[in-house]
């Protein structure tokens, strides 16, 4: 069984990015790639996520900035911030951290972002271009999964990929990416979700199983084909008295039993989660190099 080790791989890719930033930017007297994040309100998970982004930016030599606003910040004001960042020549790419407070229309904000700076890949233009197999910013989590499969030489061509969960940010885009006519894609993909009556029927046939249901331990060994590749996108905080943080992270997959049956699997933590932030860095690098037009 191969552990698809997001920790080692993400460190390796960050080191590659660091070298490129030095060689292609700093050594040439160009300003480092600059990622900005906009954070509205006090959601603790969002605070942590943005802090991790800042940390990762520092590690690879990017400039990072965070625009923080209170919970009662208006939609109109947030649109003005987006307009400002769209025009700011010093910022290569930016993200508006989700979820936003309920009085703000997320879609309206996202559609206001200049698609050329939309390093989260959430703007409809980028989503549409992804489906049309045109160059675009890919959403970070599925992009991270694609990178993980590619770097571990997991063959996808002609394989049956079963995706559990059809969210806009993971399940649906990864199902599209893997079905495209492209290198490291060309898979036959089945997209399952809450309305699929018998998920096990599909998972048992999966050569590659991607689990993004957001349900703790929903995938057990009896649901997985022998020697399948299993990618776990789930991330759940389980209270644990014996850890420093007071909790332990678990995925949608029961790792202990499934890992004995499959040929490769991502752990939680240390799997897909770490690839997500690296993907955001790769998108920012692309944006700063003006690779998407």
Which residue, 92 or 207, is less far from a copy of itself as judged by CB?
A: 207
Mention every residue, 6+ apart, whose C-beta is less than 8 A from residue 35: 53, 57, 62, 63, 64, 65, 91, 92, 93, 94, 95, 119, 280, 281, 284
**Least CB distance from residue 167 to a copy of itself, whole Å?**
10
Which residue, 173 or 234, is less far from a copy of itself as judged by CB?
A: 173
Which residue, 181 or 244, is less far from a copy of itself as judged by CB?
A: 181
Q: Is the dihedral of CA 178, 60, 135, 79 positive or negative?
A: positive
H or E element, residue 279: helix 272-288
Task: Read off the tokens for 225.
Answer: 């084909």
53 an active-site residue? yes
Phi, then psi, of 89 in degrees rounded to 5:
-65, -20
CA distances to 120, 140, 172, 227 from 168, rounded to whole Å, are 12, 12, 6, 29
The SS3 assignment for 95 reads strand
Using CB under 8 A as the criterion, which residues of the chain lie in contact with a copy of itself when the complex forms? 107, 123-129, 131-134, 157-158, 166, 168, 172-173, 175-176, 179-181, 186-197, 202
30 an active-site residue? no
**Least CB distance from residue 7 to a copy of itself, whole Å?**
31
**Least CB distance from residue 174 to a copy of itself, whole Å?**
12
Q: Which of 14, 117, 118, 120 is catalytic?
A: 120
5 an active-site residue? no
**Least CB distance from residue 10 to a copy of itself, whole Å?**
27
**Least CB distance from residue 129 to a copy of itself, whole Å?**
5
Which residue, 38 or 130, is less far from a copy of itself as judged by CB?
A: 130
Which stretches of 179-282 are assigned E, i.e. beta strand? 188-192, 208-211, 229-232, 236-239, 247-250, 264-265
Which stretches of 97-195 are assigned E, i.e. beta strand? 160-164, 188-192
Q: Which of 14, 92, 97, 252 is catalytic?
A: 97
Which residue, 123 or 250, is less far from a copy of itself as judged by CB?
A: 123
Q: Which of 53, 225, 250, 286 is catalytic?
A: 53
Active site residues: 53, 97, 120
């Amino acid at each position: 069984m191969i552990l698809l080790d997001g920790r080692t791989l993400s460190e390796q890719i960050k080191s590659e990015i660091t070298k490129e930033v030095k060689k292609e930017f700093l050594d040439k007297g160009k300003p480092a790639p600059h990622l900005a994040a906009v954070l509205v309100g006090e959601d603790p998970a969002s605070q942590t996520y943005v802090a991790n982004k800042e940390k990762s930016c520092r590690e690879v030599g990017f400039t990072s900035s965070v625009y923080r606003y209170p919970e009662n910040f208006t939609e109109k004001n947030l649109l003005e911030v987006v307009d400002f960042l769209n025009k700011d020549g010093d910022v290569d790419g930016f993200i508006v951290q989700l979820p936003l407070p309920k009085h703000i229309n997320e879609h309206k904000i996202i559609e206001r972002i200049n698609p050329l700076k939309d390093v989260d890949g959430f703007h409809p233009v980028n989503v549409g271009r992804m489906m049309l197999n045109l160059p675009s910013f890919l959403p970070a989590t599925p992009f991270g999964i694609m990178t993980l499969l590619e770097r571990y030489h997991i063959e996808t061509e002609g394989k049956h990929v079963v995706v559990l969960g059809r969210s806009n940010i993971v399940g649906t885009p990864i199902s599209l990416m893997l079905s495209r006519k492209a290198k490291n894609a060309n898979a036959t993909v089945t997209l399952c979700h809450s309305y699929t009556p018998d998920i096990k029927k599909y998972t048992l046939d999966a050569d590659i199983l991607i689990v993004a249901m957001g349900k703790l331990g929903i995938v057990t060994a009896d649901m997985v084909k022998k020697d399948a590749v299993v990618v776990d996108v789930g991330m759940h905080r389980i209270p644990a008295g014996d850890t420093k943080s007071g909790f332990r992270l678990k995925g949608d997959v029961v790792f202990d039993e499934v890992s004995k049956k499959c040929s490769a699997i991502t752990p939680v933590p240390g799997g897909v989660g770490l690839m997500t932030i690296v993907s955001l860095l790769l998108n920012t690098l692309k944006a700063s190099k003006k690779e998407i037009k």
